[in-house]
Amino acid sequence: MPEFLIVLHHKVTDVPEDVPGKEIAKSEIFLGRLARKLGVVSLTDFKSQSPAVTDALAEINGIDLSDVKLEKETWFAPLQGLHTVSALQEHLRSHPATLPNTKQVLGELDIWNQVLARAAEQGVAWHLLVAI
């Protein structure tokens, strides 16, 4: 099962290395639709990875990417992500029956909110990585 991970461009003080995102990933389709309904950017729109990670994943899976031009890693302002996370949190708190795992998703979103807020304070960009 995939997991969503926050990747920070630089180390941020008081932010754990491993920020959970399994429950968010499980609910990815619904959260994407909800984000659009709420008028915010979907979390998956913040997805990016370095060409080195892409190469490593391709090698693990036996895929030859030597003829493929890989996209550069994209970084996003933490306030953009914080806006999405906050909107999702607000909606899920006021509509707890929305998902079967709302409590777990909110727990992860709370941590994401804290991480992105710290990143914003320190001016550190971020992106979402989908780990398989």
How many whole angstroms from its chain centre is CA 116? 10
d(CA 121, CA 117): 6
* pLDDT-derived band at 14, boundaries 50, 70, 90: confident
d(CA 45, CA 38): 15
Residue 118: predicted pLDDT: 96
Neighbours of 69 (CB within 10 A): 6
> If you search the block for the tokens 């998956």, which residue do you land on?
44
Non-local (6+) Cβ contacts of 59 within 8 A are none
d(CA 85, CA 113): 6
Determine contact, residues 88/98, Cβ cutoff 8 Å: no
Res 40 pLDDT > 70: yes
Tell me the average pLDDT across 28-52: 91
* pLDDT-derived band at 112, boundaries 50, 70, 90: very high
Q: What is the pLDDT of residues 60-84, one digit of tens each?
A: 667 665 665 657 889 999 999 999 9
pTM of the full predicted structure?
Answer: 0.86
Tell me the average pLDDT across 84-100: 96
Residue 57: predicted pLDDT: 56
